[in-house]
Structure 1
Amino acid sequence: MSCRLRTEQLHIGYGKRTIVMVAHDLNHAALYAGHAIAIRQGRIARQGPPAAVTTPGMLREMSGVEADVR
């Protein structure tokens, strides 16, 4: 699915209802989610506001990636 189509679909329901979204694209998750849950090996590793969940420490812990998060 194209990035444009995904974004259009998310805008349709945004603010009107609860949407459960499974995403590996952290940019989309951070942009649209009011609450994020990071799952590792079937268990909740972190949860909270997207900015609190998508941190350099989480990326390192979850996937072994060293990255800046902005």
Structure 2
Amino acid sequence: MKIDISAPEGNVFCIMGVVTDLLGQTGRKDEVKAVMARMRSGDYANACAVATEVSYGSIEFYNSRDEIIG
């Protein structure tokens, strides 16, 4: 899944929702609180990095004006 950070779906709260859904769909619902805490513990780049990490790379972020960033 690619998320355009310059679009509405690039909002950090939308990203957190995508990650929550993904964890639930993959049987990892018990990880949601810890992952959300990690996403909130830093800046926007940290939240994106955590999302990419916990999705095993299936979530990628890009700026529609630039290339994929992580």
Q: Could you state the TM-score of these two structures normalised by the residue count of structure 1?
A: 0.31
Whose relative contact order is higher, 1 or 2, with alpha carbons under 8 Å and at least 6 apart?
A: 2
Q: Could you state the TM-score of these two structures normalised by the residue count of structure 2?
A: 0.31
Larger proportion of helix: 2
Larger proportion of strand: 1
